[in-house]
Structure 1
Amino acid sequence: MVSRGVTVPLSTLREERKGWLLVFLSALMWSFGGAIARFIENSDSWTVIFWRSVWAAAFLVCFMVWRDGWRGTLKLFRDMGLPGVAVAICFVTSSIPFIIALAYTTVANILLMQAGVPLLAALIAWALFGEKVSRATWAAILAVIAGIVVMVSDSLHATVSPIGNALALLIAFSLAMATVFTRRYANVRMTPATCLGTMIAAVVAAPLASSFEVTGRDMGFLFAFGVVNLGLGLALFATGARLVPAAVAALLGTFEPLLGPIWVWLIHNEVPSARTIIGGTIVFAALLVHIGLEFRRQTHPRRPGVTGMPSPS
């Protein structure tokens, strides 16, 4: 695509759109986490973390072996280096607090706190690596923050645990860091990094779990929790986030906290408050408008003086 001195290769646009789709699908998979967790009867958070992480690690290993073979998989682990280790740690510090936070607050509170991830990712990418963020993306981010303020304002009362909110903030920061590192080191395949993160989580949870025994019913939901929600979500994210700017990847990830409370509402009748619904509507509208503008930008020539999103390097 050519526009007054600016040429954008068609292959670049296709890769970026592929990244959009993959990151959205990862958010969709992650959004089922709260609904699945509510089906699990085992009350020991560390037992849940252990089995969820084990199933996720098993899925990711099988995925990489199917895609790259045993030798290719081992090479991916060797080549991920420190950026891969950093991403693994980020996912450990997001997956473990999620399960623990469920014991202190609602699924809606945990997930909707994550709507701040786009702003955090944009700020981190700008501060550490000088990655530019378009005005349209900043506007969408501010709208998302406005929506989350409306939602969180309803939970500022004595019945909400500060521990739950603190863990939710830790999850948001960790996901923002993982998004930035994945985008910054786009040449590094991050699937083994996410796999390493699940392995570390399992090792951490093992000595803290009261028992590894769970019912057959719970194991079925733990399998879905680990494979579909965590493992598949991580694989999609690791593949797609390196193809789009960090702020855009984080913005698409906001579909997780937006959809998550809806599934819990529909399946478990955990009804969100009026402010949660209003704030969620603001977030959803901001996402739809931004996505529409981005596709318009990609299919129409840019006018002089208008700064668009940086293309993947």
Structure 2
Amino acid sequence: MHTTRIKGLAIAALGVLFITPDALLVKITSVEPVVFLFWRGLLLALSFLIINTVRYRSRLVPEMKRCGWKGWFCACAFAVSTLGFVVGMKNTAAGNVLIILNTAPVIAALIAWLVWKETLPLRTWVIIVVCVTGASIMAIGEWGQGEPLGLVMAGVAATALAANLNVARSRPDADMSVMLMFGALLLAALAAIGGGAKLPSLRDSLFIGLLCLFFLPIAATLIQIGPRYIAAAEVSMMLLLETVIGAFLVWLVLDEVPTTLSLFGGVIVFSALLAHGWIEVRRYRRASLS
């Protein structure tokens, strides 16, 4: 049991590390959101197909069938969460979107409790509350007004993410990551309908290719696998680390100096997740000794 939890935390943390360049590479590109969404979806679908073919070879189709309707749900939820995030960012202040997205761990925990009767230990709830508070403090510096559509879509993104991870958690015997390619194709199709099927400049193509052919497919695969070993709320909580490291990369490369509140909130999130990992490692060592 303890070995499984350590494995799950390590997989989720590694996935978060691979997703951290997302904000930086999105900021570097100058394409319209709908064009970015089209190529993000198309290239991710190709990447997922390659990764899954290498992992499963002739067993890929049987593994997809094993996922059943829950696999299709995860694929659609993946597309909806990505779409909600981008539309939210386009229609309201970034701080508004981040604060709403930071509620994903709480939403995931509530869904798990209401639907699957899965409860979390008090220590995990404490870490979740501390992390959400720290991430929200980071976002307060960018709090602003915006269209109601942006707020609604940010809420949709947080709920879709939480639901996706919970459904994946409900079938630990099936690898839901093999279905993400269909969610990526759905995202590309929706963007194409919206006029996103345009060729970016060479510079933007290089950055989009780096993000969608390397960083994102590895990150999404690992994060989708995480709920097979730990609670969906814990995976969502680990994703808050991306806010901290992503902001640091933007600061380092683009010289966008974070506010004092952002730095303070980042320290809270990083310290809480570090404490969570330390506690789990200690529990694993005690269980091993006994």
- Flag whether TM exceeds 0.5 (same fold): yes
For the residues of structure 2 that align with 1:232 and 1:106, how far apart are their CA atoms?
A: 29
For the residues of structure 2 that align with 1:188 and 1:211, how far apart are their CA atoms?
A: 34
How far the C-alpha of 1:199 sits from its partner, in A, is 1.2
The alpha-carbon distance between structure 1 residues 188 and 52, as it changes in their structure 2 partners (threshold 3 A), is same
How far the C-alpha of 1:248 sits from its partner, in A, is 2.1
Paired letter, 2:124: T
For the residues of structure 1 that align with 2:3 and 2:92, how far apart are their CA atoms?
A: 41
Greater Cα radius of gyration, structure 1 or 2: 1
**SS in structure 2 opposite 1:209?**
coil
Answer yes or no: is the 8 Å Cα contact 1:111–1:258 preserved in 2.
no
How far the C-alpha of 1:115 sits from its partner, in A, is 2.9
How far the C-alpha of 1:261 sits from its partner, in A, is 1.7
**Residue equivalent to 1:8:** none
The alpha-carbon distance between structure 1 residues 55 and 171, as it changes in their structure 2 partners (threshold 3 A), is same
How far the C-alpha of 1:262 sits from its partner, in A, is 1.7
How far the C-alpha of 1:156 sits from its partner, in A, is 3.8
Deviations 1:124-180 (A, max 9, x none): 11111111200110111111232234334434444x555444433332222111111
**Residue equivalent to 2:63:** 76
My pick for the range that moved more, 245-254 or 82-91, is 245-254
**Residue equivalent to 2:11:** 22
For the residues of structure 2 that align with 1:21 and 1:122, how far apart are their CA atoms?
A: 20
Paired letter, 2:217: G
Paired letter, 1:278: F
Identity value in percent: 25
**Residue equivalent to 2:251:** 265
Please say if 1:154 is aligned against 2:151.
no
For the residues of structure 1 that align with 2:157 and 2:28, how far apart are their CA atoms?
A: 22
**Residue equivalent to 2:20:** 31
**SS in structure 2 opposite 1:280?**
helix
Deviations 1:165-200 (A, max 9, x none): 443333222211111111111112112221211111
My pick for the range that moved more, 82-91 or 248-257, is 248-257
Q: Which runs of 5+ in 1 are unaligned?
A: 1-11, 303-313
**Residue equivalent to 1:51:** 39
Query: TM-score scaled by structure 1?
Result: 0.84
For the residues of structure 2 that align with 1:180 and 1:210, how far apart are their CA atoms?
A: 31
Answer yes or no: is the 8 Å Cα contact 2:38–2:197 preserved in 1.
no
**Residue equivalent to 1:311:** none
Answer yes or no: is the 8 Å Cα contact 1:35–1:260 preserved in 2.
yes
Greater helix fraction, Structure 1 or Structure 2: 2
Answer yes or no: is the 8 Å Cα contact 1:114–1:257 preserved in 2.
no
The alpha-carbon distance between structure 1 residues 105 and 227, as it changes in their structure 2 partners (threshold 3 A), is farther
Query: TM-score scaled by structure 2?
Result: 0.90
Please say if 1:192 is aligned against 2:178.
yes
Deviations 1:191-212 (A, max 9, x none): 2221211111111111212542
For the residues of structure 2 that align with 1:272 and 1:231, how far apart are their CA atoms?
A: 28
Deviations 1:229-251 (A, max 9, x none): 32111111222321112222222
**Residue equivalent to 1:137:** 124
The alpha-carbon distance between structure 1 residues 156 and 68, as it changes in their structure 2 partners (threshold 3 A), is closer
Superposition pairs for residues 1-313 of structure 1, below 5 Å?
A: 12-42=1-31, 44-69=32-57, 71-104=58-91, 110-111=97-98, 113-158=100-145, 162-301=148-287
**SS in structure 2 opposite 1:80?**
helix
Answer yes or no: is the 8 Å Cα contact 2:95–2:144 preserved in 1.
no
For the residues of structure 2 that align with 1:172 and 1:199, how far apart are their CA atoms?
A: 21
Deviations 1:265-294 (A, max 9, x none): 222223322222222221222111111111
Answer yes or no: is the 8 Å Cα contact 1:108–1:261 preserved in 2.
no
Answer yes or no: is the 8 Å Cα contact 2:12–2:235 preserved in 1.
yes
My pick for the range that moved more, 72-81 or 118-127, is 72-81
Deviations 1:80-99 (A, max 9, x none): 21111111111111112333
My pick for the range that moved more, 113-122 or 32-41, is 113-122
Paired letter, 2:233: A
Paired letter, 2:120: V
Answer yes or no: is the 8 Å Cα contact 1:121–1:246 preserved in 2.
yes
The alpha-carbon distance between structure 1 residues 199 and 15, as it changes in their structure 2 partners (threshold 3 A), is same
Answer yes or no: is the 8 Å Cα contact 2:135–2:240 preserved in 1.
no
How far the C-alpha of 1:62 sits from its partner, in A, is 0.8
